Structure 1
Amino acid sequence: MTHIITSLCLRDSSCVEVCPVECIIPGKPSSEWPWFYIDPDTCIDCGACIPECPYEAIFTEEEVPADYAAKGTEYIARSGLTGHYEGKNDKGEAVVLECTRMLEAGEIVDLRPDIAPNYAYFKEGPGYKALEK
């Protein structure tokens, strides 16, 4: 099973730095592909990315929660949302997303719909070609 980056991802990028097979890339355009994606055909399931994510957005595929309980301090980034998020990644570079929503404390979110976009980004979406731009 591959690892999945969920919509809790706010593009910190520390996961990219530790991936030994360089299979994690940022989605582009961010309005359509708002978080980072793991290539399921390249991922070796080492798990190095999981503890590096400050947003706790990465799970093994079988552990992506159907009932994630929000703490109330996190955002969710999904295409179609209209909230604004500004922050910085692990290198201090600006991160701006226009498709977010802050979650309320105790709100239950099904993160399993985030599995399909991880596969789609490399099968139907831009995949590694996004790095060329």
Structure 2
Amino acid sequence: MTHVITSLCLRDGGCVTVCPVECIVPGKPESEWPWFYIDPDTCIDCGACVPECPWEAIFPEDEVPSAFKAKEGQRLSMPVGTPGFTEVYDGVNHEGEPVHLEATKTLKAGEVVDLTPAIEINKKFFKEGPGYSAAS
């Protein structure tokens, strides 16, 4: 079992800092891979990353919600060009560095979204993506 970072990720990076096995990497280029990703072959399922995420974007793989009920103002991020994701997000990460994402969408309180596609997207990142591995 592993943990999965979902489309609620806005690249805070606190998860990377606390991971004891360094299995979390930022997607690059951000326009195609806007989240952080957890290497399922390296993750030890310790859960240290979960409380560090201010966006509540990280779940155990078998608990990623298919009917996530959003809080007011929560955002989803997706690759540039994804239909319906037209808002730009400019914020800062946990170290105060700028975060710029070009394809986000703000959710309304109570809006229900399926976060389970993140499971396959995370797997695809490590199998077919930009060649990242936790060791690189």
Normalised-by-shorter TM-score class: over 0.9
Is residue 27 of structure 1 aligned with residue 37 of structure 2?
Answer: no
Look up the match of 2:126. 122
Q: SS in structure 2 opposite 1:15?
A: helix
Look up the match of 1:91. 95
In the alignment, is the contact (CA less than 8 A) between 1:27 and 1:130 conserved in 2?
Answer: no
Cα displacement (A) at 1:72:
1.6
Structure 1 residues 6 and 35: alpha-carbon distance in aligned structure 2, compared to 1, 3 A threshold: same
Look up the match of 2:112. 108
Cα displacement (A) at 1:128:
2.4
Deviations along 1:6-31, whole A, 9 cap, x unmatched?
Answer: 00000000000000110101111111
Q: SS in structure 2 opposite 1:97?
A: strand
1:65 partner amino acid: P
Look up the match of 1:59. 59
Deviations along 1:49-105, whole A, 9 cap, x unmatched?
Answer: 001101000000000001100112211001212210000000000000001000111
Look up the match of 2:3. 3
Cα displacement (A) at 1:127:
4.0
In the alignment, is the contact (CA less than 8 A) between 1:3 and 1:38 conserved in 2?
Answer: yes
Root mean square deviation, CA, Å: 1.6
2:113 partner amino acid: V
- Calculate the TM-score normalised by the size of structure 1: 0.94
Unaligned runs of 5+ residues in structure 1 are none
Segments ≥4 residues shifted beyond 6 Å: 129-132
Using the alignment, how far apart are the partners of 2:133 and 2:41 within structure 1? Answer: 16
- Calculate the TM-score normalised by the size of structure 2: 0.92
Q: SS in structure 1 opposite 2:124?
A: helix
Q: State percent identity of aligned pairs.
A: 64
Using the alignment, how far apart are the partners of 1:25 and 1:130 within structure 2? Answer: 7
In the alignment, is the contact (CA less than 8 A) between 2:42 and 2:134 conserved in 1?
Answer: no
